[in-house]
């Protein structure tokens, strides 16, 4: 009797049994992890018989991916270091791996920064990875080697935050694939702050009936809705139901806002008894980049309550009182 097992290609076995007959077992790979098995039986005085086919699965590789960054928030001009760890939790090696990372808007990969290292047990060594230029913000990083079972491939790379990052979500998604496997999708959210590169600011304020002429809004001093304010850049702003307004993305610098009294029939400018410079229809404010400033307009009815005798009834004794 002779038992012979020899490797045939990668996963094909040839088993021959002599006396009293011949049994040939062939194992043909269908996919990387699926094997189709057929047996042929025969002898000197009998014909050959084919057995039925059986299929069984070999050990599988499995990929798990995690992604981290060296900071949770960044500003335009900052560099962020991402680390992607791909672990093979399967029973066989995973080869020819590609990491696809879709970067958020405004983040640009520094291609020369890409580094790879492979950890097998307690041994970590650098490995060569290549980068395919980004298409639609998706960067492909390729590793031509194999990740052994329970081994990890770490890929580290740097991205630069551009001013466009302010318009993006800051979230990126990474997924690792081989010819037959796809990992889970790792996600990381980077909060992108305006930083010093933002040249815009925010202007807020309110138009209200100032009954005690201190320039501040206290209780009992209602806001005036639908008041029109013109900016020096031509912007036209209308107050809401509470007399409030806000303008985002105002170009920084010296900005002027003017209350249009033609939008407020029956009201005139309320005199400010404490700040003479505020006794003006137009107000000047210095808006620093990324800052917020407030311009309030105090008005008073041209006739009736709030004008005649208001100063005596509501004027504070020694201070301006609280601001609403």
Coil, helix or strand at residue 166: helix
Taking a C-beta distance cutoff of 8 angstroms, is the pair 105, 165 a contact?
yes
Nearest to 69 by CA among 140, 193, 156: 156
Least separation in angstroms between CB 231 and Ca ion:
25
Residue with smaller CB distance to Ca ion, 230 or 314? 314
Least separation in angstroms between CB 265 and Ca ion:
22
**Using rule CB under 5 A, residue 310 touches Ca ion:** no
**Using rule CB under 5 A, residue 101 touches Ca ion:** no
Least separation in angstroms between CB 165 and Ca ion:
43
Residue with smaller CB distance to Ca ion, 175 or 207? 207
Residue with smaller CB distance to Ca ion, 2 or 312? 312
E strands in 152-197: 152-161, 171-177, 182-189, 191-192
The Cα 30–Cα 183 span in angstroms is 22
Coil, helix or strand at residue 293: strand
Least separation in angstroms between CB 221 and Ca ion:
5
Residue with smaller CB distance to Ca ion, 101 or 210? 210
For residue 116, give both structure tokens: 């790879």
Write the CB contacts of 248 (distance below 8 Å, at least 6 apart in sequence): 200, 202
**Window 200 to 239, contacts with Ca ion (CB under 5 A):** 210, 212, 214, 216, 218
**Using rule CB under 5 A, residue 296 touches Ca ion:** no
Least separation in angstroms between CB 318 and Ca ion:
15
Positions touching Ca ion (CB under 5 A) are 210, 212, 214, 216, 218
């Amino acid at each position: 009797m002779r038992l012979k097992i020899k490797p045939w290609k990668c996963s094909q076995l040839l088993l021959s049994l002599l006396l009293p007959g011949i049994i040939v077992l062939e194992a043909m790979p269908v996919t990387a992890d699926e094997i189709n098995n057929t047996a042929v039986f025969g002898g000197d005085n009998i014909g050959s018989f084919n057995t039925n086919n059986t299929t069984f699965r070999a050990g599988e590789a499995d990929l798990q991916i995690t992604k981290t960054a060296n900071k949770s928030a960044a500003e335009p001009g900052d560099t962020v270091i991402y680390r992607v760890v791909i672990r093979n939790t399967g029973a066989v090696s995973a080869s020819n791996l590609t990491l696809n990372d879709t970067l958020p808007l405004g983040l640009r990969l520094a291609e020369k920064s890409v580094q790879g290292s492979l950890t097998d047990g307690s041994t970590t060594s650098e490995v060569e990875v290549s980068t395919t230029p980004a298409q639609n913000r998706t960067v492909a990083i390729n590793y031509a080697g194999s990740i052994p079972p329970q081994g990890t491939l770490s890929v580290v790379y740097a991205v630069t935050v551009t001013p466009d990052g302010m318009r993006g979500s800051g979230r990126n998604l990474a997924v690792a694939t081989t010819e037959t496997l796809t990992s889970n999708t790792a996600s990381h959210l980077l909060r992108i702050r305006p930083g010093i590169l933002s040249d815009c600011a925010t202007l807020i304020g309110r138009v209200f009936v100032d009954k005690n002429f201190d320039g501040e809004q206290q209780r009992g001093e209602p806001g005036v809705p639908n008041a029109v304010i013109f900016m020096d850049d031509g912007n036209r702003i209308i107050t809401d139901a509470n007399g409030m307004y806000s303008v985002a993305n105002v170009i920084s610098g010296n900005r002027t806002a003017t209350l249009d009294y033609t939008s407020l029939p029956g009201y005139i400018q309320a005199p400010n008894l404490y700040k003479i410079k505020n006794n003006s229809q137009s107000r000047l404010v210095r808006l620093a980049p990324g800052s917020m400033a407030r311009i309030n307009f105090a008005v008073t009815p041209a006739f009736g309550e709030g004008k005649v005798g208001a100063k005596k009834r509501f004027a504070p004794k020694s201070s301006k009182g609280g601001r609403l």
